[in-house]
Amino acid sequence: MVSKKKYIFTIDDDCFVAKDPSGKPINVLEQHIKNLLSPSTPFFFNTLYDPYREGTDFVRGYPFSLREGVTTATSHGLWMNIPDYDAPTQMVKPKERNTRFVDAVMTIPKGTLYPMCGMNLAFDRELIGPGMYFGLMGEGQPIGRYDDMWAGWCTKVICDHLGVGCKTGLPYVWHSKASNPFTNLRKEYKGIFWQEEIIPFFQNVTLSKTCTNAEECYIELADKVRKGLGHIDPYFTKLADGMIAWIEGWRMLNPAKTA
């Protein structure tokens, strides 16, 4: 909210530089910027993944009318070593480690949600920054560990509405340690049940054509959260209030430019 940089990068304090299969350290920022500066293809899936990377292109049958792509708003990176699992999965797979380096970047298709993780994330602040409110979580709140995913669901709906893209895949970071699964379960257990209603809400929510930027979209989305999820728990009414407060703060720190 405070930064005036065009691109924002978020990383957890237990994430470090990973190495590619050749042993070369991965330049995380360079890859995120490459992802953000190249177009996305959310309207038609390319089976060779990102067609703008060196050594690949659009496959036979890909419509020429869609090959220009659209602006990329979000670059979602991944993790070597400790996967980003929920508590139940951590408990049944306590020793599992991610050792697979997949050399791929892909656009998440329009209409498809994804569990965004803030451990290794970059985004275009000017384009989608107003939607990057990492939900109301922490001490005194009924759930935790859903803050980044909440931002991901909101921003994906907004990106789909605005006709811009989200990419996932490279770059990788080295996630050095697993958090306590029993502590995580206490934070997550309500969210595990609630998300069975939250996900359909985001899958079906639509935004007005009059919403032409992320701020306007987020304000309208907050109202829909209040009306569409408030019946689950009073928390969602408070969360909707937090979304409005976030935009009010955003506007104070980022006043609209006058012509």
What pLDDT, in 10s, does the model give residues 37-75? 999 999 999 999 999 999 999 999 999 999 999 999 999
Residue 247 predicted with pLDDT over 80: yes
| Percentage above 90 pLDDT, the chain | 95
Task: Check if the beta carbon of residue 15 is closer than 8 Å to that of residue 29.
Answer: no
Residue 73 domain flag: yes
Helical H runs in 163-213? 181-204
Instruction: Tell me, yes or no, whether 83 lies in a domain.
Output: yes
Report the pLDDT value the prediction gives residue 1, as an integer from 0 to 100.
79
pLDDT tens per residue across span 207-242: 999 999 999 999 999 999 999 999 999 999 999 999
* Structure-derived torsion over alpha carbons of residues 94, 23, 36, 112, reported in degrees to the nearest 10: -30
Q: How far, in Å, CA of 48 to CA of 36, rounded?
A: 18
Average pLDDT over residues 153-160: 98
Q: Please indicate, yes or no, if residue 157 is contained in any of the structural domains.
A: yes
How far is it, in rounded angstroms, from Cα 227 to Cα 216?
Answer: 17
Radius of gyration of the chain (CA): 19
Q: pTM above the 0.75 mark?
A: yes
pLDDT of amino acid 138 = 82
For the cut 90, the answer to whether the pLDDT of residue 6 exceeds it is yes
The total domain count for the chain is 1
pLDDT digits (tens, 9 = 90+) for 96-130: 999 999 999 999 999 999 999 999 999 999 999 99
User: Does any domain span residue 1?
Assistant: no
Could you tell me if residue 2 is inside a domain? no
Evaluate whether residue 35 is within a structural domain.
yes
| Length of the chain in terms of residues written | 259
Please tell me the predicted confidence (pLDDT) of residue 248.
Answer: 97
Question: Would residue 103 count as lying in a domain?
Answer: yes
Domain that holds residue 232: 7-253
In this structure, is residue 41 part of a structural domain? yes
Q: 20: pLDDT confidence band, cut at 50, 70 and 90? A: very high
Predicted confidence (pLDDT) at residue 257 exceeds the cutoff of 80 = no
Supply 160's token pair. Answer: 């789909």
**234 phi and psi angles, rounded to 5 deg:** -55, -20
Q: Please report the pLDDT score of residue 256 as a whole number.
A: 82
Residue 168 predicted with pLDDT over 70: yes
Res 259: pLDDT: 59
